[in-house]
Amino acid sequence: LVRLRARLARSQNVFGRGLLDLLSSDRLDEDAWDEIEDTLITADVGVTSAAQIVQGLRTRVKVLGSRTPEEVRELLRQELIAQINPELDRTVLTGPHGERPGVVMVVGVNGTGKTTTTGKLARVLVGDGRSVVLGAADTFRAAAADQLETWGSRVGAPVVRKDEGADPASVAFDAVARGLADGVDTVIIDTAGRLHTKVGLMDELGKVKRVVEKQSQVDEVLLVLDATTGQNGLRQARVFAEAVNVTGIVLTKLDGTAKGGIIIQVQRELGVPVKLVGLGEGPDDLAPFDAEEFVDAVLR
């Protein structure tokens, strides 16, 4: 796994730089605070969080009489970390549990990076010496299963797939059955994400989960969100979170956006921890999310 801070430091995720410039200005007057709030909103931190951060910062600057840019930077750092809730458990539960493999479902809208995330996660586990089976439960497009097979052979994980149009739940069932039979550590199920049939999709995901639970448990439902999609991504996230019990968020494409503040909003709105972040298209471009590391990278 790559280190979040080092990787973000090389990315475009620089909303902190503007903040630091503003904070180091001589006069922290009304206009300066407004600009700080605007900068946070532009970075997709969300209106509520932006207001809270600025409010908290103003109060503490006043009470503590902090003035140097270093002091104010440290206060901002603390406000941002507090918004991300550093106490949340961000462990990705991958099993195994006794005789049964850990089961991870990867869900999200097409194009967000589900298949890529599935491949990267498999890579991490296999790299740790664990055995992994992948399930290609997006049976709507044959290309999706092909793409997963490419990842599978790249990272050394067999792929269970069926013909185009097969029942996604039966693929998931077979993947878990294979995991049980072969005594593998983790089964990761890549699911479909055609949101234009929203109700159909949510029913389908529910069915996949129920069918898996006939012979095992689902340990994680990871919702993949594209960090570059802002409010739209947030709306998608709500739909998924209402329909399936999402246990963690994977925020992808954080390498290509200055809007990393979406992490704060996503977590606040959904109450679900961001567990992993995608920092590129390659097999090693996945990092565990850590609030302090993230904030330090943003405020570099």
Is 118 annotated to bind ligand?
Answer: no
Q: Which lies closer to ligand GDP via its Cβ, residue 77 or residue 194?
A: 194
Three-class DSSP category at 275: strand
By CB under 6 A, name the binding residues for ligand GDP.
Answer: 108, 110-116, 193, 252-253, 255-256, 278-281, 285
CB of 116 to ligand GDP, least distance (A): 3
* Residue among 49 and 115 whose Cβ is closer to ligand GDP: 115
Task: Name the residue among 289, 299, 255, 240 with its Cα closest to residue 84.
Answer: 289
The closest residue (CB) to ligand GDP is: 278
Q: Is 194 annotated as a binding residue?
A: yes
Cross-strand pairs, 97 = 100
Check the annotation: does 150 bind a ligand: no
Please report where in the chains the tokens 């699911």 appear, as a residue.
Answer: 191
Q: Name which of 218 and 224 has its Cβ closer to ligand GDP.
A: 224
E-only strand ranges, 147-284: 159-160, 186-191, 220-226, 248-252, 274-278
Q: How far is CA 166 from the centre of its chain?
A: 28
Give me the residues paired with residue 287 across strands: 277
Close Cβ partners of 6 (under 8 Å, ≥ 6 residues apart) = none
Distance CA 109, CA 202 (A): 11
Structure tokens at 17: 């730089």
Q: Which of 16, 113 has the CB closer to ligand GDP?
A: 113
Omega before residue 69 within 30° of 0, cis = no
Minimum gap (Å) between residue 92 Cβ and ligand GDP: 16
> Between 111 and 271, whose beta carbon lies closer to ligand GDP?
111
| Minimal distance, residue 234 CB to ligand GDP, in Å | 17
Question: Residue ranges of the alpha helices (H) in 69-197?
Answer: 69-84, 114-127, 142-155, 168-182
Cβ closest to ligand GDP, residue 20 vs residue 195: 195
Residue 275 assigned as binding residue = no
Q: Determine if residue 110 is labeled as part of a ligand binding site.
A: yes
Query: Is 13 within any annotated ligand binding site?
Result: no
> Least Å distance between CB 49 and ligand GDP?
23
Of 253, 248, 275, 286, residue with least CA distance to 4 = 286
Smallest distance from the beta carbon of 278 to ligand GDP, in angstroms? Answer: 2
CA-CA distance, 12 to 27, in Å (whole number)? Answer: 28
Annotated ligand binding at 7? The verdict is no
Nearer to ligand GDP, 100 or 253 (CB): 253
Separation of CA 3 from chain center = 15
Least distance CB 66 / ligand GDP (angstroms): 37
**Residue 120 labeled ligand binder:** no
Sorted by sequence, the CB contacts under 8 Å of residue 190 that are 6+ apart come out as: 106, 114, 115, 118, 134, 135, 136, 137, 138, 144, 148
Question: Please, what is the minimum distance in Å from the beta carbon of residue 60 to ligand GDP?
Answer: 35
Residues of each annotated binding site:
108-115, 190-194, 252-255
Residues of each annotated binding site for GTP:
108-115, 190-194, 252-255
